[in-house]
Each structure stands twice: as structure tokens, then as C-alpha cells.
Amino acid sequence: ETVINRIAAGEVVERPASAVKELVENAVDAGATRITVEIADGGKSLIRVIDNGCGIAAADLPLALSRHATSKIDGSDLLNIRSFGFRGEALPSLGAVGRLTITSRASGAAEAAVLTVTGGTLAPVRPAALNEGTVVELRDLFYATPARLKFLRTDRAEVQAIGAVVRQLSLAEPFISFTLRDVTGGGEGRVTFRADAEQGELLDALHGRVAQVLGREFAANAIPLDAEREGLHLTGFAALPTYSRGAAVAQFLFVNGRPVRDKLLVGALRGAYSDFLSRDRHPAAVLFIDVDPQRVDVNVHPAKSEVRFREPGVARGLIVSGLRHALADAGH
Ligand code: ADP
Ligand code: MG
């Protein structure tokens, strides 16, 4: 069991940023409206994710840490996946590669409970003090696998990767407030990213969030998208071709709310701007594609963020024509 967990763990948890991604996605799935991420030493010595979501009942804590135990799917429905989690792999994997402590209070429960896992071994569940939600703490990532530890990048690089993960997820969830704090060396630490919860209609909220994450200038130079093709929907914001963002690539793509990094979609985005941008400049956009889960395969490698559309041509056409129409409407 522990060996299996360690093997799986290597796939789910490549680096601190992938642990942060799994934990923040769990907090989103739990219906949290406030998520705080604290890290120390690039996440290598500490990752702590605090949420105000639905919590986990004391009796369910050991279950949450056993392999393939997920509360999010009943097994008959593997294709109909809307929430982030569906494999029940993340927590057991994290418990195999670090010292994992979960403190949680299920909504309505009289008290909270805490469970610690070290090297895959569960300690007994104990009562704990916590007002609401869940705190997941992962310490000493890869302490038992020094070979892995050696291949991690510098703290600085890990801090950057974690920042990118939190920013990316925050774009998909404008109604949730996010805080990222670096607590290296102890104490209160330093807030390195913060996005307050937006309100109102989704597209307005998203615009506000885009301004918080990518800057006011980007938001002011971005046009809203709303297109449909054969049941695939495109929303989001795309920068005007006249807007220059320097060298940094600002492309955020989501399929059914999940962040993806997909060649097909990136290529389509470039295609949409091909008349405007020279080869060395990258279009900037935050794109959401929503599609019936039956028509897209998200059940690929956990650490990668690829998707497979049943009709890739439709997805590409939607992006190219959706963006070109919006740009044309904006006078380009
Ligand atoms: P998955 O997300 O694929 O279901 P995980 O290993 O990430 O698998 O989590 C296992 C289970 O633990 C989840 O299905 C959920 O029931 C519970 N869980 C994990 N994190 C949280 C959280 N922050 N709040 C509430 N429940 C959680
Ligand atoms: Mg999960």
C-alpha cells in the first residue's frame, strides 16, 4: 500500500507547486469562499492551505486519506466530471511524500478533528480546535526520498511556480478570495499575492479578477468573449492586438473550469491573432471553454493538464472564429 502510494505520489506530486494545486482544488471543490496558502522555503518545508469550505467529518478523515476514496464521484460516472477532484489520489499521495496533517471541522459538527500521516502511516484521529473549514499542512516534502529532493529547483523557482498556480486557479474562481503568504523564517510572513472576492455577474466578476491578477491595464485593453459552436461555449477576455505586454506570456486556458495547457488551444489562440501579431509576440487572453463533459476527456495524466476533445476541429474553430469576431467588433 505504501509503495503503491509512493509510486502514485510521484505522478501527482512532482514539486511543491503540484501539491499546492491539488490542495487548492480540494478547497474549491469544498465550496470555500476564502482560501489562504502559506508556504515556507519554496513549499519544501511547509505548505499550508486553509479554507472555509464544508470540512470533513471526523469519521471520514481516515477515508479521505485512503487511495481512490473520493466523495466526488460514485464510479458509474467517470465521464461526467465537473469538480476538480475525482481520483481520490491527491491526499494519499501527499501523505506518502511528506508529513501531512489535516485538521477539519465539518459544517454543523460540534468540534474539529485532526489526523496526521507520516510516510503513509495514519495516526489516530484526535479532537482539535478549529472554527470552520479545513487546514491541510504538508511539511518536509520528499523528506523520505532524498533523490527527489535533490532534483527540486531553487526555492525561488518553486515560489514562482506556486504563485503561478494560485494566480491561475484564482482566475477560474472570481467569487473566491485568495491569499498567498510566504512564511519562510516563521511569523506572520509576507503576502505575495492577494485577490479579493468579486461580486455580481460572472463576466463582470471575471473582469474584476482579471484586473486583480493581470493588472488594470490588461483588463482595460481586453475585450469580452462570448461565442458558441456546436454546443461548445467560449467566454473570457482577450487582449486587443494593440496591447503589448512585453515578453511575458499571459495565456490562461480553462476547460470546464480546469486549468489546461494544451497545444491545440494555444495553437488556436495564436491562429486567431495571426493577422495581427508577428511571430515573436504572444497573444494575451483568459479563455474558458465549457462543453458537455462527455465530449472532452480530462481523464489524462494527473500532473499534466492536457485535454482531449472529441471534436478538436470544433474547439479550434470556436476559438479562432470567436476571437476574430470579437476583435472585428472591437474595430480590428
Ligand atoms: P479527490 O479530490 O480526487 O476526491 P483527494 O485525495 O484530493 O481526492 O481528496 C479526498 C477526499 O477528501 C475528497 O473527495 C474530499 O471528500 C475530502 N477533502 C479533501 N480536501 C478537502 C477540503 N479542503 N475540504 C473538504 N473535504 C476535503
Ligand atoms: Mg483532490
Ligand 1 near 137 CB (within 6 A)? no
The CATH architecture assigned to 216-329 reads 2-Layer Sandwich (3.30)
Q: Which ligand is nearest to the CA of 68?
A: 1
pLDDT, residue 36, reads 98
**Predicted structure pTM score:** 0.90
pLDDT of residue 78: 42
pLDDT at position 219, please? 93
Residue 71 near ligand 1, beta carbon < 6 Å: yes
Measured in Å, residue 216 CA sits from the centre of ligand 2 at: 32
According to the model, what pLDDT value does residue 275 have? 86
pLDDT of residue 104: 98
Does the Cβ of 93 fall within 6 Å of ligand 1? no
Task: Quote the ligand 1 centre to 244 CA distance (angstroms).
Answer: 40
Topology alike, domains 2-195 and 216-329? no
pLDDT of residue 77: 44
Locate the domains of the chain by residue range.
2-195, 216-329
Give me ligand 2 centre to Cα 300, in Å.
15
Q: Quick one: which ligand is closest to 72's CA?
A: 1
pLDDT digit string, tens, across residues 213-263: 999 999 999 999 999 999 999 999 999 988 876 656 789 999 998 888 888
Which grid coordinates belong to 124?
Answer: 489516530
Please, are residues 248 and 239 in contact by the beta-carbon 8 Å criterion?
Answer: no
Strand partners, 105: 133
Strand order in the sheet with 232-239: 222-229, 232-239, 285-290, 251-255, 258-260
Q: Which of 68, 72, 54, 65 lies closest to 91 in space, CA to CA?
A: 65
Closest to 281 in 3D by CA, of 313, 253, 316, 240: 240
Q: Does residue 56 line the site of ligand 1, with CB under 6 A?
A: yes
Which residue's alpha carbon is nearest to atom 2 within ligand 1? 85
Ligand 1 contacts CB of residue 89 (under 6 A):
yes
Neighbours of 1 (CB within 10 A): 10
pLDDT of residue 247: 56
Residue 142, Ramachandran bin (φ over 0: left; ψ between -120 and 50: alpha; else beta):
left
Residue 313 CA to ligand 1 centre (angstroms): 35
Residue 246: per-residue pLDDT: 61
Nearest residue to 171 via CA among 273, 248, 284: 284
Q: For each of the chain's 332 residues, which pLDDT tens digit applies?
A: 455 555 555 556 789 999 999 999 999 999 999 999 999 999 999 999 999 999 999 999 999 988 665 666 554 444 444 445 446 678 988 998 899 999 999 999 999 999 999 888 899 999 999 999 999 999 999 888 888 888 889 999 999 999 999 999 999 999 999 999 999 999 899 999 999 999 999 999 999 999 999 999 999 999 999 999 999 999 999 999 888 766 567 899 999 988 888 889 999 999 999 888 877 778 899 999 999 988 988 665 555 577 889 999 999 999 999 999 999 999 88
- For residue 87, the ligand closest to its alpha carbon is 1
Q: Specify the CATH superfamily of domain 2-195.
A: Histidine kinase-like ATPase, C-terminal domain (3.30.565.10)
The contacts of residue 142 (CB under 8 Å, 6+ apart) are 44, 97, 98, 148, 149, 152
Distance from Cα 152 to the centre of ligand 2, integer Å: 23
